[in-house]
Amino acid sequence: DQQVKQNSPSLSVQEGRISILNCDYTNSMFDYFLWYKKYPAEGPTFLISISSIKDKNEDGRFTVFLNKSAKHLSLHIVPSQPGDSAVYFCAASVSNYGQNFVFGPGTRLSVLP
């Protein structure tokens, strides 16, 4: 049973518009969440994180929103750029249980020029 779900395998967005990537989790003990971006044949790179004590975290064009009651988080990219085309993974952890993250299956974002 997947504890972290990304129900959209792929998403296409026009350049300059907003990209919204969604992630749902089932384990209510998760209290720390990260988003990673991955290009083909490369390792994932860290994008942004959020702790459960917050409901929003911003870093430049990237904003992550956390809705704890719904066990849902989303990554907003504004404005989207062609270089944002990649697979985005959501990951979750119980922060006082070591450093082990559970990763979602990823969403492939295509930003069209």
Residues in contact with other proteins by CB under 8 A are 4, 6, 9, 31-32, 34, 36, 41-46, 49, 51, 89, 91, 93-96, 98-106
**Cβ distance to other proteins smaller for residue 21 or 44:** 44
Q: Residue 1 contacts by C-beta under 8 Å, 6 or more apart in sequence?
A: 26
Instruction: Supply the minimum distance, in Å, between the C-beta of residue 92 and other proteins.
Output: 9
Ramachandran area for residue 41 (φ above 0: left; ψ -120 to 50: alpha; else beta): left
Q: In sequence order, what E strands does 6-94 have?
A: 10-14, 19-25, 32-38, 45-51, 56-59, 62-67, 72-77, 86-93
Instruction: Supply the minimum distance, in Å, between the C-beta of residue 25 and other proteins.
Output: 12
Instruction: Quote the radius of gyration of the chain (alpha carbons, Å).
Output: 13
Instruction: Supply the minimum distance, in Å, between the C-beta of residue 95 and other proteins.
Output: 4
**Cβ distance to other proteins smaller for residue 7 or 14:** 7
Instruction: Supply the minimum distance, in Å, between the C-beta of residue 75 and other proteins.
Output: 14
